[in-house]
Structure 1
Amino acid sequence: MRLPHNDTTNGWANALPPRSANPALSGDHRTDWLVIGAGYAGIAAARRLAQNEPDAAITLIDARAVGEGASARNSGFVIDLPHNVGADLNDPEAQYRALRLARAATQELDTLAKAHKIDCQWSAQGQMMAAKSAQGAAVLDGFVAGLDALGEAYTDMDAAAVSARTGTSYYRRAIHTPGTILMQPAALVRGLADSLSGNQVHLFENTPVTHITYGDQIVAQTPNGTITADKAIIAVNGFAPHLDAYKGKLFSLQLFCSMTRPLTDEEHQSLGSPADWGIVPAMAFGGATIRYTKDRRLTMRSQFRYRASGKLTEADYTAARTLQAQQIKSRFPQLPPDMITDTWAGQITLSQNFAPGFGQPRKNVFTAVCQNGVGVTKGTISGLLAADRATGRDNPLLADMLALGEPSTLPPRPFLDLGVWAKMKWWEHQHRFEA
Structure 2
Amino acid sequence: MLPPRREKSRLQGDITADVVIIGGGFAGLSAARRLSELDPSLKVAVLEADLVGDAAAGRNSGFIIDLPHEVSSDDYGGDSAAKSREAIEISRTAIKMASTVAAEEGWSRDVFDPCGRYSAAISGEGDDHLTAYAGQLVGLGEDHRLLTAEEIAEVTGTRAYTSALFTPGTVMLQPAAYIRGLADSLRDPVRVYEKSPAVRLERSGTAWIVKTPEGSISTGRIILANNGHAESFGFFKGRMLHIFTFASMTRRFSPDLLPGHRKWAATPALPMGTTIRRVPDGDGDRILVRSRYTYHPGIVAGDGTLRRAGAQHDKKFKARFPALGDIPMEYRWGGAMAVTWNAVPAFGEIEDGIFAACGCNGVGASKATASGLAAAELMLGHRSRLTEIYQRFDAPKPLPPQPFTTIGAKANLAFKEWMAGAE
Bin the TM-score by the shorter chain: over 0.9
TM-aligned CA deviation for residue 117 of structure 1: 2.0
Aligned to 1:258: 248
Aligned to 2:132: 142
TM-aligned CA deviation for residue 213 of structure 1: 1.6
Aligned to 1:59: 45
Of 336, 341, 344 in structure 2, the residue corresponding to residue 352 of structure 1 is: 341
Please list every run of 5 or more consecutive structure 2 residues that lacks an aligned counterpart in the other structure: none
Residues 1:125 and 2:125 are matched in the alignment: no
Residues 1:189 and 2:142 are matched in the alignment: no
Residues 1:101 and 2:90 are matched in the alignment: yes
Amino acid of the residue matched to residue 288 of structure 1?
A: T
Aligned to 2:266: 279
Question: What do the CA deviations read for 1:105-154 (whole angstroms, capped 9, x no partner)?
Answer: 10110110121123543222211111111222222233223211111111
Does 394-403 or 382-391 show the bigger shift?
394-403
- Summarize the Cα distance change of 1:83–1:243 in structure 2 as closer, same or farther, 3 Å threshold: farther
Amino acid of the residue matched to residue 279 of structure 1?
A: A
TM-aligned CA deviation for residue 425 of structure 1: 1.8
Aligned to 1:34: 20
Does 348-357 or 327-336 show the bigger shift?
327-336
Aligned to 1:83: 69
Once residues 389 and 286 of structure 2 are traced to their aligned partners in structure 1, the CA distance between those partners, rounded to angstroms, is 37
Give yes or no for contact 2:116–2:170 (8 Å, CA) kept in 1: yes
Amino acid of the residue matched to residue 271 of structure 1?
A: P
TM-aligned CA deviation for residue 409 of structure 1: 1.4
TM-aligned CA deviation for residue 25 of structure 1: 0.7
Once residues 233 and 156 of structure 2 are traced to their aligned partners in structure 1, the CA distance between those partners, rounded to angstroms, is 42
Question: What do the CA deviations read for 1:369-422 (whole angstroms, capped 9, x no partner)?
Answer: 111101111111111111111011121221122233321111111110000011
Aligned to 1:43: 29
Give yes or no for contact 1:281–1:289 (8 Å, CA) kept in 2: yes
Once residues 422 and 152 of structure 1 are traced to their aligned partners in structure 2, the CA distance between those partners, rounded to angstroms, is 35
Once residues 210 and 412 of structure 2 are traced to their aligned partners in structure 1, the CA distance between those partners, rounded to angstroms, is 38
Question: How many residues matched?
Answer: 415
Does 183-192 or 314-323 show the bigger shift?
314-323
Once residues 340 and 154 of structure 1 are traced to their aligned partners in structure 2, the CA distance between those partners, rounded to angstroms, is 33
Once residues 203 and 211 of structure 1 are traced to their aligned partners in structure 2, the CA distance between those partners, rounded to angstroms, is 18
Amino acid of the residue matched to residue 415 of structure 2?
A: W
Aligned to 2:81: 92
Once residues 393 and 379 of structure 1 are traced to their aligned partners in structure 2, the CA distance between those partners, rounded to angstroms, is 19
Of 217, 221, 237 in structure 1, the residue corresponding to residue 211 of structure 2 is: 221
Question: What do the CA deviations read for 1:150-179 (whole angstroms, capped 9, x no partner)?
Answer: 111111111111111111211111111110
Once residues 134 and 242 of structure 1 are traced to their aligned partners in structure 2, the CA distance between those partners, rounded to angstroms, is 45
Give yes or no for contact 1:126–1:177 (8 Å, CA) kept in 2: yes
Residues 1:384 and 2:367 are matched in the alignment: no
Aligned to 1:231: 221
Amino acid of the residue matched to residue 420 of structure 1?
A: A
Residues 1:362 and 2:345 are matched in the alignment: no
Q: TM-score, normalised by structure 2?
A: 0.94
Amino acid of the residue matched to residue 411 of structure 1?
A: P
Q: TM-score, normalised by structure 1?
A: 0.92
Q: What does 1:237-316 correspond to in 2, within 5 Å?
A: 237-267=227-257, 270-272=258-260, 274-285=261-272, 287-295=273-281, 296-316=285-305
Of 149, 153, 166 in structure 1, the residue corresponding to residue 143 of structure 2 is: 153
Please list every run of 5 or more consecutive structure 1 residues that lacks an aligned counterpart in the other structure: 1-14
Does 78-87 or 227-236 show the bigger shift?
78-87
Once residues 124 and 296 of structure 2 are traced to their aligned partners in structure 1, the CA distance between those partners, rounded to angstroms, is 32
Give yes or no for contact 2:5–2:51 (8 Å, CA) kept in 1: no
Once residues 25 and 321 of structure 2 are traced to their aligned partners in structure 1, the CA distance between those partners, rounded to angstroms, is 33
Amino acid of the residue matched to residue 363 of structure 1?
A: D
Q: Which secondary structure does the structure 2 equivalent of 1:64 belong to? A: coil
Give yes or no for contact 1:241–1:249 (8 Å, CA) kept in 2: no
TM-aligned CA deviation for residue 336 of structure 1: 4.7
Does 214-223 or 108-117 show the bigger shift?
214-223
Aligned to 2:157: 167
Residues 1:393 and 2:379 are matched in the alignment: no
Question: What do the CA deviations read for 1:332-377 (whole angstroms, capped 9, x no partner)?
Answer: 1112514311000011111111101111111111111111101111
- Summarize the Cα distance change of 1:195–1:152 in structure 2 as closer, same or farther, 3 Å threshold: same
Once residues 211 and 84 of structure 2 are traced to their aligned partners in structure 1, the CA distance between those partners, rounded to angstroms, is 41
Amino acid of the residue matched to residue 308 of structure 2?
A: A
Give yes or no for contact 2:148–2:163 (8 Å, CA) kept in 1: yes
Amino acid of the residue matched to residue 62 of structure 2?
A: G
Give yes or no for contact 1:35–1:61 (8 Å, CA) kept in 2: yes
- Summarize the Cα distance change of 1:359–1:88 in structure 2 as closer, same or farther, 3 Å threshold: farther
Amino acid of the residue matched to residue 294 of structure 2?
A: R
Aligned to 2:360: 371
Give yes or no for contact 2:126–2:270 (8 Å, CA) kept in 1: yes
TM-aligned CA deviation for residue 243 of structure 1: 4.5
Aligned to 1:210: 199
Q: Which secondary structure does the structure 2 equivalent of 1:19 belong to? A: coil
Once residues 226 and 319 of structure 2 are traced to their aligned partners in structure 1, the CA distance between those partners, rounded to angstroms, is 37
- Summarize the Cα distance change of 1:373–1:386 in structure 2 as closer, same or farther, 3 Å threshold: same
CA RMSD of aligned residues (A): 1.6
